[in-house]
Homo-oligomer: A and B are copies of this chain.
Amino acid sequence: MSKVLVIGAGGVGSVAVHKMAMNPDIFSDITLASRRVAKCDAVAESVKARTGVVISTAQVDADNVEETAALIAKVKPKLVVNLALPYQDLSIMDACLKTGVHYMDTANYEPRDEAKFEYGWQWAYQDRFKEAGLMALLGSGFDPGVTSVFATYIKKHLLDSIDTLDILDCNGGDHGQHFATNFNPEINIREVTAPSRHWADGEWVEGPALSHKQPFLFDQVGEKNMYLMYHEELESLAKFMPEIKRIRFWMTFGDAYLKHLEVLQNVGMTRIDPVMYEGREIIPLQFLKAVLPEPASLGVTTKGKTNIGDIATGMKDGKQKTVYVYNVCDHEDAYAETGNQAVSYTTGVPAMIGAAMVLTGAWSGAGVFNIEQFDPDPFMDMLNKHGLPWQLKELDAPLDF
């Protein structure tokens, strides 16, 4: 029976809290906090209606360490689950250290003024968490998160050694809008417009953003074009699974999405440096976010499925073998269950599971940890039980691209 404080009441926070409420044996007492308490209250109302569970809500500015620490001291949770913006990871980690509480998140820290996806800032907290006897679990969403659990599962059960690992992220959903991003547009556009990068023979190989295009036939979705991208789990996979020679990440984008993105970049609307407007600094990308549809508002109209998984090639009993572990999630089913579409659902469920790992002690330790450092089995079990069942296929041959 454990108390948890969730910070962040967007789509992912909403899904995580709904799923926690469905597991009262693990999450006995839930508080949801965010900058705008009205958003928390709306989630609480939905949780009550769908599960009968009453959760607490609170207002907090997670940029402010003192204010966040004061809330933690008041709520006295065993674990803080950070589902706010990645800009706020460090201030929430600081607040956890101040108050002696475990920490968990789904996306690595990123400064507001630079699109730089690196674990370095958070890994620098290693000694402080270790000395405090506290655990910080980083990146427990789907990607990063489940994709690394799949990799460690493959290593533990399916292959004796892994040579190449490809992560394939396909969103086959259609939201019926001209242009919208799947999650926070600001973070999404930063990620997509960054140079591509993959790991090969102990080195990072960089290329222009969205320059390597590859069609792929996704189970239950169909053929989609996917693009080589940088994604944050590449860094932790390269660090904790150094035997893998090549690690790549692919994400699907439709032609219309890319056309819109190209134009928005061309005209300067994706800039993250401020421009002067009527005597005030405004960051174009943040203003664009205000004009675009709120991702949460798309759930009700989104149809189709996501398909995210890992393809690994390596040796098994002296022979080359290629395996594919993936999950297919239906947008409409996800919306029916939690009021949020699959992109939020596939991140929010693993956030709940990661929190369960910490609270139940299935995963434990003092320090800052990535997903790849733990036994995948209890996590894989919970995926099957809590809405993200995974499938396993053996492929005839390695990927030919």
Can you list 14 pairs linking A and B with CB atoms under 8 Å apart?
A: A259-B259, A260-B263, A260-B266, A263-B263, A263-B264, A267-B291, A267-B292, A268-B291, A268-B292, A269-B269, A271-B291, A276-B290, A277-B290, A284-B291
**In contact, A275 and B290 (Cβ under 8 angstroms):** yes
B residues within 8 A CB of A266? 178-179, 260
**A287: Cβ under 8 A from any B Cβ:** yes
Per-residue CB contact flags for chain A residues 276-315 toward chain B (1 = under 8 Å, else 0) read: 1100001010011011100000000000000000000000
Oligomer: number of copies: 2
Q: Contacting A267 at CB < 8 Å: which of B264, B268, B275, B277? A: B264
- Complex CA gap A268/B269 in Å reads 12
- Complex CA gap A292/B277 in Å reads 12
Per-residue CB contact flags for chain A residues 315-335 toward chain B (1 = under 8 Å, else 0) read: 000000000000000000000
- Complex CA gap A287/B269 in Å reads 10
Per-residue CB contact flags for chain A residues 143-183 toward chain B (1 = under 8 Å, else 0) read: 00000000000000000000000000000000000110000
B residues within 8 A CB of A179? 263, 266-267
Which residues in A have some Cβ–Cβ distance to B below 8 Å? 178-179, 259-260, 263-264, 266-269, 271, 275-277, 282, 284, 287-288, 290-292
Most buried by B among A259, A267, A290: A267
**In contact, B282 and A277 (Cβ under 8 angstroms):** yes
Q: A277-B282, A282-B277 are in contact. Are A291 and B269 (CB under 8 A)?
A: yes
- Complex CA gap A284/B178 in Å reads 17
Q: A277-B290, A282-B287, A290-B276 are in contact. Are A267 and B260 (CB under 8 A)?
A: yes
A58 nearest CB across to chain B (Å): 22
- Complex CA gap A275/B290 in Å reads 8
B residues within 8 A CB of A178? 266-267
**In contact, B288 and A269 (Cβ under 8 angstroms):** yes
- Complex CA gap A282/B269 in Å reads 15
- Complex CA gap A269/B260 in Å reads 12
- Complex CA gap A179/B269 in Å reads 12
A112 nearest CB across to chain B (Å): 14
- Complex CA gap A291/B283 in Å reads 10
- Complex CA gap A287/B287 in Å reads 9
Given A267-B291, A269-B291, 13 extra CB contacts under 8 A: A178-B266, A178-B267, A179-B263, A260-B267, A263-B263, A267-B292, A268-B292, A269-B269, A275-B290, A275-B291, A277-B290, A282-B287, A284-B291
